[in-house]
Amino acid sequence: MEPGLSELPKPHPEFCTEEEVSRLVHAFYSKVRRDAVLGPIFESHVPEWDRHLAKLVDFWSSALRGTARYRGSPMPRHAALPGLTPCLFHRWLALFRETTASLDNPALQARADDLAHRIAGSLWYGYQSRHGGPGAK
């Protein structure tokens, strides 16, 4: 886990609604799937989008609302992907921020953006560790 991730305020169910989480996830990944750079990568690694989106909603619900529905570890799957670059992570974050900018809940926008930034950093660090990059041990 990236340093500082534990410093975030604890998620709380009143922070946002489940509907807001679901809308955020579906709108964001709709953009990702249409994106010329990220779309082909995701399409080649996500065989069943309905199931994947449900898992992503559980992940973000757990992170933002504290529902604890998500069970799993995203690091191994992301670290196993070939050829990831910092540009891909930056593109993912740009699309995420573009999506959250349209939210009617400023607190949700700020927290989701911060979490996405920290998660991307953590995944990139783990990826580099596995692939012998600067973060490798």
pLDDT at 79: 84
pTM of the model: 0.86
pLDDT at 76: 85
Q: Which helix (H) or strand (E) holds 89?
A: helix 86-100
DSSP line for 20-81 = HHHHHHHHHHHHHHH-TTHHHHHHHH-S-HHHHHHHHHHHHHHHHH------S-HHHHHHTS
Per-residue pLDDT of the chain (137 residues; tens, 9 = 90+): 344 444 555 676 677 999 999 999 999 999 999 999 999 999 999 999 999 999 999 999 999 999 999 998 888 888 888 889 999 999 999 999 999 999 999 999 999 999 999 999 999 998 988 887 664 54
Q: How many CB atoms lie within 10 A of CB 64?
A: 21
